[in-house]
Structure 1
Amino acid sequence: MAQLVAGTPTDFTTRIAELIWSEDPALIGLEYQSYDNWVDAAQKEWPVAGAANSYDSTTLAMDGDAIVGLINGFPASEIEPRFDKSSEIQGARLVSDDIADAIDALFAEPIENAFYILDIAVHASAQNTGLGGRLMEHADQLARRAGCTSLYLDTYASNAAVGFYQHLGFVINQRTHSAVLDAFGVDPYLQLVRPISQ
Structure 2
Amino acid sequence: MVKIIHASKVNFSQYTDAFADLMHATGPVAYDYQFNGRALFDHIVKLSWRMSGTLFAYDGTTLALDGDKLVGTEVGFHGPEFATRKKALGALWPEIIEAGHVTTEELGLIAERTFQCSYLNAAIPRNVYYTHALSVDETRRGKGIGAKLIRNAMAEGRRVSLRALHLDVLSDNPAVDFYKALDFQCLVESTAPIPLQHGIPMEMRMSIDL
- Unpaired segments ≥5 residues, structure 2: 95-103
**Aligned residue for 2:6?**
6
Structure 1's 184 and 112: CA in aligned 2 closer, same or farther, altered over 3 A?
A: same
SS at match of 2:208: strand
2:60 to 57, 68, 78: 57
1:125 to 139, 155, 164: 139
The Cα shift of 1:90 comes to: 3.4
- Alpha-carbon distance in 2 for matches of 1:138, 1:87: 30
Alignment of 1:95 with 2:98, yes or no, is no
Structure 1's 174 and 186: CA in aligned 2 closer, same or farther, altered over 3 A?
A: same
AA aligned opposite 2:116: A
1:33 to 36, 43, 48: 36
**Aligned residue for 1:179?**
193
- Alpha-carbon displacement from aligned partner over 1:141-172 (angstroms, at most 9, x marks no partner): 11112221100101111111101101111111
- Please give the residue correspondences for 1:76-95 in structure 2 after superposition, counting only pairs within 5 Å: 76-90=79-93, 93=107, 95=109
The Cα shift of 1:7 comes to: 1.0
- Alpha-carbon displacement from aligned partner over 1:84-133 (angstroms, at most 9, x marks no partner): 11133236846355432211111100023100000100102211111111
SS at match of 2:123: coil
AA aligned opposite 2:133: D
Structure 1's 25 and 39: CA in aligned 2 closer, same or farther, altered over 3 A?
A: same
Q: Is the Cα contact below 8 Å between 1:51 and 1:82 reproduced in 2?
A: yes
Structure 1's 18 and 105: CA in aligned 2 closer, same or farther, altered over 3 A?
A: same
Runs of 4+ in 1 over 4 A off after TM superposition: 91-94
1:104 to 113, 118, 130: 118
- Alpha-carbon distance in 1 for matches of 2:66, 2:72: 9
AA aligned opposite 1:59: T
- How many residue pairs get aligned? The number is 196
Q: Is the Cα contact below 8 Å between 2:36 and 2:110 reproduced in 1?
A: no
**Aligned residue for 1:141?**
155
- Alpha-carbon distance in 2 for matches of 1:142, 1:148: 9
AA aligned opposite 1:53: F
Q: Report the TM-score when normalising by structure 2.
A: 0.88
- Unpaired segments ≥5 residues, structure 1: none
AA aligned opposite 1:31: Q
